[in-house]
Homo-oligomer: A and B are copies of this chain.
Amino acid sequence: MSGNTFGKLFTVTTFGESHGPALGAIIDGCPPGIEISEADLQIDLDRRRPGTSRHTTQRREPDQVRILSGVFEGRTTGTAIGLMIENTDQRSKDYGKIKDQFRPAHADYTYHHKYGERDYRGGGRSSARETAMRVAAGAIAKKYLASHGVQVRGYLSQLGPIELEVKDWSLVDTNPFFCGDADRLEELEQYMDALRKEGDSVGAKVTVEATGVPVGLGEPIFDRIDAELAHGLMSINAVKGVEIGDGFAVVSQKGTEHRDEMTPEGFLSNHAGGILGGITSGQTLRASIALKPTSSLRLPGRSIDVNGEAVEVITTGRHDPCVGIRATPIAEAMVALTLMDHLLRHRGQNADVKVDTPVLREV
Query: CB-CB < 8 A to A16: which residues of B?
Result: 68-69, 80, 82
Q: How many residues of A contact B (CB 8 A)?
A: 163
Report whether B221 and A235 are in contact in the complex, using a CB–CB cutoff of 8 Å: yes
Residues of B within 8 A of A262 (CB): 102, 104, 109, 302-304
Which residues from 284 to 308 on chain A have a C-beta closer than 8 Å to any C-beta of chain B? Answer: 290-295, 297, 299, 301-304, 306-308
Closest to A308 in B: B358
This chain: copies in complex: 4
A353 and B229 CA atoms in complex are apart in Å by 28
Of A53-61, A123-131, A167-175, the one with at least 4 CB within 8 A of chain B: A123-131
Known: A158-B251, A240-B243. A109 touches B304 (CB 8 A): no
Residue interface mask A79-104, B partner, CB < 8 A = 1: 11110100000000000000000101
Q: Please, could you name 20 A-B residue pairs with CB atoms under 8 Å apart, sorted by A?
A: A1-B8, A2-B8, A23-B69, A29-B348, A72-B119, A105-B255, A107-B276, A158-B251, A202-B253, A203-B250, A240-B247, A241-B247, A243-B248, A255-B297, A255-B299, A261-B302, A262-B302, A304-B357, A344-B349, A347-B351
Known pairs A15-B79, A109-B215, A235-B278 / 11 extra A-B pairs, C-beta < 8 Å? A2-B7, A4-B79, A15-B70, A29-B348, A30-B349, A104-B261, A106-B277, A110-B276, A160-B252, A226-B240, A347-B347
